[in-house]
Structure 1
């Protein structure tokens, strides 16, 4: 058990203790600025089919949502269910705040490959995925053309990506690539895209730190090799800031999610999207698989019914309806005829789905923020030239032992 993270959440927050819900009510800490109409509709249908039971979503802004669920649980007044980043499930579980939500083989097989792993440790699942994002390569065809590159042929490997970035920088004066290295969570995410496009990993299923490997070293060396051909001062920029530079024509290539495509449709830029370029050890297209999940909290008194509802509200048909109508640009969690039609109607979704097959999850650690900070410091030390990749990698791997 690791109570320190949750003890911090309680500091000065005793006023948040909630009145216990009735035994037939499923309280739900719901992240966002409103209850999604799809969820509202199916909550009503579930209540109609489960006489005497109610579901009570409490909409909480993204910045406070997870902290509120954590605080209530640590105070002994847990919600029945909460929307959380899957990255935190191990911390919650080892602090005895949530219960297992095991999936059957059939349930696991319904998802795209590797999705169940985003909520799995110690051989079982601790949440139900409800939101999903992936990344792809975006490029500015005008800058490719200006640099003498074929605007319809994106780089397929790291080697080509770095070479194209160099050519564009030298020929046009515009940085070839948008590199992310700010002290911000998505610096770690962006680096993991390189790890998972080279068959690397951070921690294995048995909890062994596997960061210091040839595959991850190659990823860190690739990140370093891109620095001269990127925007000036990458440590000043996080993912969305780099995306904004790209949308203004200030860099030629970025790694980004569906949000970039949605915004590009509102511009005059001639652009393309493709799977992330691959490293020398890649088995196939990859990406970091980020999910958010419904966690079921221990001590609410309605755990079994909450699990039943969580699986219902994320069941294939309901989940796809939510994904396809949400303004959040969610990558589908499961393959289906609906997804096939989505890709046919909106081809830019294809590259964002292609990377799932060999993608990898956000690694689960007992102290996720500690893990995140180690990874960011490692990347920044290499990007700024303060450390060579191998030394930075070895140091980070040693430090991660304290957080696994």
Structure 2
């Protein structure tokens, strides 16, 4: 296996960094340092010449995280056109499994926390954190066949698509059509510039793309649509060659800076000093739906897809591998944290408990997946040794 010279381009180190950042945020929120750190995160910074005036934490979740979604969108487009999802045969099992990995956690959450005050949190346990999942796979999956990683990557990409749709559709508020239409125009200009950059390669075109991209982000933020959607739109329309170069340049920045910063701010919540029975239903709904709902939905629907796949389709995973992939899918983290902030934006108490539910549910899924992946990897290594 080729090891990247830059650990921030690998899979293990970024996952560890995310875990440490979230742990640090949770720790500092429950020490006397809370007020000092909270004061920094709540400090407002205005963008000169614009109406944008956001707190530091919102600049991270609305601004920097848009760069993360730009990189995600570039990968989405590649996989849908030239990668693991570029044909029906390749996409059928992960697509059906991803559907189960969304529907079953939603059902589990609503069964536990479907009341009027917490029911809006149902999208939270639907996400899979690809960085964490692939990190666990890299740490514990030595000997697993490549189709397990391919399946997980496809599954997480489809989950990302679903999460992006949820963010764009469910959490838009008081949409302002003029800024939104101007944002669409800016995305079109960005698309044209990316084609020109592909053809000519002049650095001034790259600078113009950066300026137009920032304008598109600002217009989306002003329109009432969550600003991260701007990153998605820009990533999807970018010409392939410039997109690949930008993704390569941004990958260590996203893995080493943007995602840890977001993990720190999102996990900066106070652990409530209450008995377990007094915790919000949102906490329990997420903490159960992520590890249990994901593994049940992905394994069951993936098995069904294996039975229904068309003749001649790509090789599929056996049920034991689907269980391991389902456990990995339960590591929600990044997108789940963002969805928790959006779903309970008007209720700080429930939002904090929902965030704790994401952290607890993801931790359970992480431990469970480490065990299942290790067992499957060990089985494959023994089979390989016996047949060599």
* TM-score range relative to shorter protein: under 0.3
Q: Could you say which structure has the higher strand fraction?
A: 1
Q: Could you say which structure has the higher helix fraction?
A: 2
Higher relative contact order at CA 8 Å, sep ≥6: structure 1 or structure 2? 2
For normalisation by structure 2, the TM-score amounts to 0.22
